[in-house]
Amino acid sequence: MAIFKGAGVAIVTPFTENMEVDYEKLGEIIEYQIANGTDSIIICGTTGEASTLSHEEHLECIKYTVEKVNKRIPVIAGTGSNSTETAIYLSKEAESYGADGLLLVTPYYNKATQKGLIAHFTAVANSVNLPIILYNVPGRTGCNILPQTLATLVKEVDNIVGVKEASGNIAQIAEIMQLTGGNIDLYSGCDEMIVPVLSLGGSGVISVLSNIAPKQTHDIVEKYLEGDTKGSLSLQLEYLPVINALFCEVNPIPIKKAMNLMGFGVGPLRMPLTEMEPANADRLWKALKDSGLDKIN
């Protein structure tokens, strides 16, 4: 059984002006997400700027989110690292807090071989009892989980149950489903590819767009899974200009800008991320207005 089906939000981490984690604001946006139909909260992922959080902040964000959500929807904790030992530590801690699942990104910078990926993910998975979604985003990590590697892991490691596929390679995603016999929970890691991934047997999306359009993103998935493929496709295409604007600079620069423009007040970015270029911010604002997302709905 999938940890969730539908649209899970890769939630931002709000900061105060002096760059501390703003837990009060995090609580507010969690409540907003739940009220608007989000199917899962993914905390401390790429969009949550996990790479600039200290280990203490990282774990406190997970703990706070688990307690705030209080089992109303699943909480999936990002606990991946390029150090296997660190990933095991973060994963064990997240499990102790009551997280419902883990999201493990491929080791970045040191770029493991496929053999190394199998060893790394197996070691982390064996250290906990939680279900695990692997996160394949080679554009950010320089490391691609090949379909055969993923099929091996899903077959041999009981609690590796899913993948967030953000390679953008639809042929690779199709091969994953072929080699696993569909025995994997497949989530789109690209908001512009929700419908194509669902057409290959996907269970949903782990979404950046959901930060500002939780109901709409949920509906894209729900309509498809209920058989309304035309309705699902219509929504996918309707919000494509917003999605494209949200990725015209590296994530999460645009989504934080969008949320601040809309009035969420999620604060600044931590360096080395910097404020959005004015021309791109204008493009984003136009896309938000054209889609009716220029204020909190």
Catalytic site positions: 135, 164
Tokens describing residue 287: 């896309």
* Main-chain phi, psi angles of 121, to 5 degrees: -65, -35
Contact present, 212 and 204 (Cβ < 8 Å): no
Q: How far apart are CA 74 and CA 253, in angstroms?
A: 26
Q: Return the beta strands (E) in the chain as ranges.
A: 6-10, 40-43, 75-78, 101-105, 132-136, 160-165, 185-188, 204-207
What is the widest separation between alpha-carbon atoms in the chain? 50
Report helix angle 114-126 to 84-97, nearest 10: 30
Q: How far apart are CA 26 and CA 16, in angstroms?
A: 11
